[in-house]
């Protein structure tokens, strides 16, 4: 039995299993696309190798000895495990299984990542997909630390963009979320000056959305709002808006998601007569980074959606 595991081969286990299941050497050989003499020689070789009879021959076929029964039972488990392993490996290699980790700004996650994940899941039901929503500085830092396969993000100031592969960009148009019975929720576009006297729920200073809103106020020579609640949490924003006259600037995709239909609850979206546009975010990977097939498929789905979106101007 010494070094038996190194000498007993997969084909030997398949023969033992086939004989055990069929009870006939000829049928087992046929199942394995072998000649009966070749199967007989292989079985004899296995029995010499383990120094024990595996099957008892009789006129009606073959029945396993206790040793043969043990080998056949365990061969089934080993072969099934091997087949499962090979299927999983093939699924990973073809991008139907595995893990993908994506980071995105909020608008990009809603508009492009979520639909891409849904499309991917149609042929990769067992895939393990992680989606984080965060500010661009957090996303880029995570990408550099290999926490993400790719991100939809802006390039923070002071970051060397030459270390990245940067694809299709998308600007964000700001809409404004308020409760349905808000004084400004009257179905028409409003001016920025009309909003100035209300409390605001907005992202922290130095974020692209906050800068874009502040620059719009300054461009029109309007004082910045005095009362501001700073948060990046959608849940905090929604809860605050639902019970106050506050206004929350948010990307068009997110405003459309929360400001219309059954998901809206007590909220609605309003628009400025002169829209505020935030500088674009991009589809970014690290140069020379090799991502797994599943993440590559998801990346390509996001890229395709960005390309169609840019070409249609939607």
Q: Which residue has the higher pLDDT, 302 or 307?
A: 302
Does residue 141 form part of some domain? Answer: yes
pLDDT at 2: 45
Secondary structure (3-state) at 44: helix
Compute, in degrees rounded to 10, the torsion defined by CA atoms 100, 104, 107, 112. Answer: -30
Claim to verify: residue 190 and residue 237 sit in the same structural domain = yes
Please give, one letter per residue, the 3-state secondary structure of 91-110. HHHCCCCCEEEEEECHHHHH
pLDDT at 87: 55
For the record, the structure tokens of 27 come out as: 């049928």
- Domain ranges, residue 111: 101-279
Mean pLDDT of 22-32: 89
Distance CA(179)–CA(196), nearest Å, equals: 17
Relative to beta strand 99-104, strand 150-153 is: parallel
Claim to verify: residue 200 and residue 266 sit in the same structural domain = yes
Q: Which of 52, 51, 22 is nearest to 39 (CA)?
A: 22
pLDDT at 314: 45
**230-283 pLDDT, tens digit each:** 988 888 988 999 889 999 998 888 887 765 544 456 888 888 988 999 889 999
Secondary structure (3-state) at 201: strand
Percentage, residues of the chain above pLDDT 90: 33
Contacts of 153-159 with CB under 8 Å at 24 or more apart are 153/103, 153/104, 153/105, 153/108, 153/281, 153/282, 153/284, 154/105, 154/208, 154/279, 154/280, 154/281, 154/282, 155/282, 155/284
Does residue 308 form part of some domain? Answer: no
- The predicted model scores a pTM of 0.66
Does residue 309 form part of some domain? Answer: no
pLDDT at 168 over 90: no
- Chain mean position to CA 199: 37
Relative to beta strand 267-270, strand 128-133 is: unpaired
Distance CA(92)–CA(272), nearest Å, equals: 47
Claim to verify: residue 71 and residue 206 sit in the same structural domain = no
Claim to verify: residue 46 and residue 134 sit in the same structural domain = no
Claim to verify: residue 175 and residue 76 sit in the same structural domain = no
pLDDT at 258: 65
Q: Which of 164, 186, 190 is nearest to 175 (CA)?
A: 190
């Amino acid at each position: 039995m010494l070094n038996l595991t190194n000498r007993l081969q997969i084909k030997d286990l398949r023969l033992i299993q086939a004989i055990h299941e069929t009870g006939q050497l000829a049928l087992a050989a046929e199942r394995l696309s072998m000649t009966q003499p070749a199967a007989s020689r292989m079985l004899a070789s296995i029995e010499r190798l383990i120094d024990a009879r595996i099957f008892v021959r009789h006129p009606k076929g073959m029945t396993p000895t206790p040793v043969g029964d043990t080998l056949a039972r365990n061969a089934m488990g080993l072969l099934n495990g091997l087949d499962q392993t090979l299927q999983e490996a093939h699924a990973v290699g073809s991008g139907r299984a595995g893990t993908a980790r994506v980071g995105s700004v909020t608008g990009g996650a809603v508009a492009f990542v979520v639909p891409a994940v849904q499309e991917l899941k149609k042929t990769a039901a067992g895939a393990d997909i992680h989606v984080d929503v965060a500010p661009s500085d957090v996303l880029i830092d995570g990408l550099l630390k290999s926490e993400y396969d790719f991100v939809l993000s802006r390039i923070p100031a002071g970051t060397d963009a030459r270390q990245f592969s940067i694809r299709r960009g998308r600007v964000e148009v700001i809409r404004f979320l308020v409760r349905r019975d808000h004084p400004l929720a009257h179905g028409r576009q409003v001016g920025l000056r009309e909003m100035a006297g209300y409390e605001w729920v907005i992202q922290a200073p130095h974020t692209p959305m906050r800068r874009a809103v502040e620059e719009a106020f300054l461009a029109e020579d309007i004082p910045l709002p005095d009362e501001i609640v700073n948060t990046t949490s959608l849940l905090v924003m929604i809860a605050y808006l639902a019970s106050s006259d506050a206004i929350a600037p948010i990307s068009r995709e997110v405003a459309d998601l929360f400001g219309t239909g059954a998901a809206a609850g007590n909220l609605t979206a309003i628009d400025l007569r002169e829209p505020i546009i935030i500088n674009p975010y991009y589809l970014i990977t690290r140069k020379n980074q090799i991502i797994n097939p599943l993440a590559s498929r998801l990346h390509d789905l996001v890229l395709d959606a960005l390309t169609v979106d840019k070409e249609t101007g939607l």
